[in-house]
Amino acid sequence: MLKGTKILVCILAVAGCVTIGSMVTNAADKTKDTVANKALNDYVVGQSKNNSLQMGQGQEGGVEGVKLSGFSIPIYDLAQSKDVLDFKGNTISGILKGTDEKLWFMMNQDQPKGIVVANSVKPLKMGGENRSKDLMKMYSSIKQTLKGKEEIRYFEFQGQGIFYVAGGAEERVYLSKSASQILKIPSGKEISPQNLLEKLKSIIQESK
């Protein structure tokens, strides 16, 4: 009986830890959502004021009905240039580090009107309608290829967006239009991590 009681206590303790861990994670996610929503509201107010001035000058515009996308994309940081050059592996994840930042889309129904990048403390980036259209088109296309536990992640090189898919048997990489211009690789199409690594190292080496 005592042995059975000990086992039950252990099971309850583990379950409690899992529950607390989930609560902490959910709380952190909700905090980021709150920060992102506040950033969106501030952006909408600011744009509305600007548009009112522009319309007074005969220009049209508006950001009415804009909401955050129902999903966000985790953002990763690219390693320092030296570390990228010294990297001997063949995976993109090997030169990336996780952050607490996420990317949301500003949506007017099904049309992207910009992006919001925020962490759990403050908004970091807002706006960019043309960029958001390119990224959303890529994201939607990539999402259709996901299998099992694969996840879409985001990072930037020289300020330009790159998606990569992790969590599966192999990583896959997709470049935004602006990133493809820098790296001279077609945008929107799947490329291998090895190909991207070679291009990154080449550009970094040339800029030294």
Residue 160: pLDDT band (50, 70, 90) is very high
Segment 101-120 mean pLDDT = 94
| The model scores a pTM over 0.75 | yes
- Give the CA dihedral 11, 17, 18, 22, nearest 10 degrees: 160
Place of tokens 């989930």: 22
Average pLDDT over the chain, rounded to whole?
A: 82
DSSP conformational letter for 109: T
Sign of CA dihedral 119, 130, 144, 96: negative
